[in-house]
């Protein structure tokens, strides 16, 4: 590339790296809230604003950031 052409080159803007998600098991979430696994199951299966989770190979996992957001919405 010639120097005269370099003036037209626009520098790339680096995108922020997304935060790496922290996935927790139901037991960890139960300990965080100080409740039983049955309560976590009830919250996860709730029809109205369920506790956010995903199932990987039959194991429920919870994105801890989404759990904290859910907690904020559901705290009286």
DSSP code for 11: P
DSSP string, 16-28: PPPPPP-EEEHHH
Q: What is the pLDDT of residues 34-45, one digit of tens each?
A: 999 999 999 999
Would you say residue 41 lies in a domain?
yes
Q: What is the pLDDT of residues 6-34, one digit of tens each?
A: 666 666 777 777 778 899 999 999 999 99
DSSP string, 42-71: HHHT-SSSPPP-EEETTEEEEEHHHHHHHH
Owning domain of residue 69: 22-74
- 73 Cβ contact partners less than 8 Å away, ≥ 6 residues apart: 49
pLDDT greater than 70 at residue 3:
no
Would you say residue 2 lies in a domain?
no
Would you say residue 3 lies in a domain?
no
Residue 28 belongs to domain with CATH number: 1.10.1660
Would you say residue 4 lies in a domain?
no
Would you say residue 13 lies in a domain?
no
Give the count of domains, the chain.
1
Q: What is the pTM of this model?
A: 0.73
């Amino acid at each position: 590339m010639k120097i005269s052409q370099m003036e037209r080159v626009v520098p790339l803007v680096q995108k922020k790296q997304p935060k790496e998600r922290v996935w927790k098991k139901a037991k960890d979430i139960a300990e965080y809230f100080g409740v039983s696994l049955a309560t976590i199951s009830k919250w996860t299966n709730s029809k109205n604003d369920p506790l956010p989770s995903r199932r990987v190979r039959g194991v429920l996992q919870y994105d801890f950031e989404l759990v904290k957001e859910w907690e904020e919405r559901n705290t009286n």
